[in-house]
Amino acid sequence: MPSRLSSKSLSASKAPLGIARATLLGLACGAIAIHGAAAQPYPAKPIKMISPFSAGGPPDVLGRLIGQKLSERFGYNITIDNRPGAGTTLATRAAAAADPDGYTLLQVNATLAYAPVLYPEPGYDPVKSFAPVATLATWSHFLFIAADVPSNTVEELVAFAKLNPGKVNIGHPVGVPPQVLTEIFKTVSGAPFNSVPYRQAAQLRADLLAGRIHAYFSAGAELVSLVQQGKLKALAYTGVGRHPDLPQVPTVIEAGLPQLALNPSDWTGVVAPAGTPPAVIGALSAAINESLHAPEVRANIARQGGTVKLTSPSEFATFVAAEAKKWPPLVTAARLKAD
């Protein structure tokens, strides 16, 4: 079990240097004492992290890795409670209503910022209902197309779709940023693409390789390797600069689609219910950021095509507030509807 710190040691702002170092070390290890007449060490019992994602999917696997690292650091199990459905609002509402004691966390992604647009009165506010803890990773997306599509640029793909109205299929998972990117692309290009929703990204990728789906916005690193093998093409990238693994692929700005420059175009992180003690938030943030240095965590994020993102609670709070302003008008303009 990790060593415990007393509340007195945490509040001694003028403590000698040795005591201050011991305090910082204790915080980094995640064992803190909550102020009060009956101060209790944190954590003193298992922690639950609610996940809006289906068990076994890439976001869930990353969340479980982080949970495992927190369990090792804190000495208590971090259980993952999968509650997919209703565009992530089921899980998010449950977390918002939980006691703000540090024993209920929520893994979130960009849908936190725009799900309330699709599901009016969801039972929470993306900014006010939560205390951001730490970011995990961010993503930018490629516009991939099947190898047999006779296009090598975005302009050629748009022209091809206009020559074949309703016959060029763009696949997307439901309710996630690739769907938003797809609908924005259709709107700004004016091309009659046919949107095809998928429940399973694995099936979408298989259909893209088979040519049944002609285009797909994805951050998947495995698709990048397929481009390198000549089995797929990539026409544009939503990141700020060109991707180092596919430097020949222009950014969406270079390709004439500045509306798709949504950097990042997806992300994931961990939040707690609003009102969770700052000392607890700080201990969780320090532990999660330390976990993000683990080779297996970084390898998992790289396999998903993501970039590790380290933030403090205040930095993550600023980021979430900005995302809550960025996404709703895009979702509205894309005419997305609830699942």
Q: Residue 244 belongs to a domain with what CATH number?
A: 3.40.190.10
Q: What is the pLDDT of residues 241-260, one digit of tens each?
A: 999 999 999 999 999 999 99
Residue 95 has pLDDT above 60, yes or no: yes
- 56 is a domain residue: yes
Tell me, what's the pLDDT at 242?
94
Tell me the CATH number at 106.
Answer: 3.40.190.150
pLDDT at residue 36 in the model:
47
**pLDDT bucket at 121, cuts 50 / 70 / 90:** confident
Assess whether 183 and 283 both reside in one domain.
no
pLDDT, average across residues 54-76: 93
Residue 11 has pLDDT above 50, yes or no: no
What pLDDT digit, counting tens, does each position of 167-218 carry? 999 999 887 889 899 999 999 999 999 999 998 888 999 999 999 999 999 9
* Predicted confidence (pLDDT) at residue 24 exceeds the cutoff of 80: no
- Residue 323 within any structural domain of the chain: yes
Domain count, the chain: 2
What percentage of the chain has pLDDT greater than the value 90? 73
What HEC string does the chain produce? CCCCCCHHHHHCCCCCHHHHHHHHHHHHHCCEECCCCCCCEECCCCEEEEECCCCCCHHHHHHHHHHHHHHHHHCCCEEEEECCCHHHHHHHHHHHCCCCCCCEEEEEECHHHHHHHHCCCCCCCCCCCEEEEEEEEEECCEEEEECCCCCCCHHHHHHHHHHCCCCCEEEEECCCHHHHHHHHHHHHHCCCCEEEEECCHHHHHHHHHHCCCCEEEECCHHHHHHHHCCCEEEEEECCCCCCCCCCCCCECCCCCCHHHCCCCCEEEEEEEECCCCHHHHHHHHHHHHHHCCCHHHHHHHHHCCCEECCCCHHHHHHHHHHHHHHHHHHHHHCCCCCC
| Position 306 in a domain | yes
What range does the domain containing 132 cover?
Answer: 42-137+267-333
Choosing from 205, 230, 260, the residue where a domain stops is 260
State the pTM of this model.
0.84
The pLDDT of residue 175: 78
Assess whether 282 and 192 both reside in one domain: no
Judge whether 49 lies within some domain: yes
Residue 14, in any domain of the structure: no
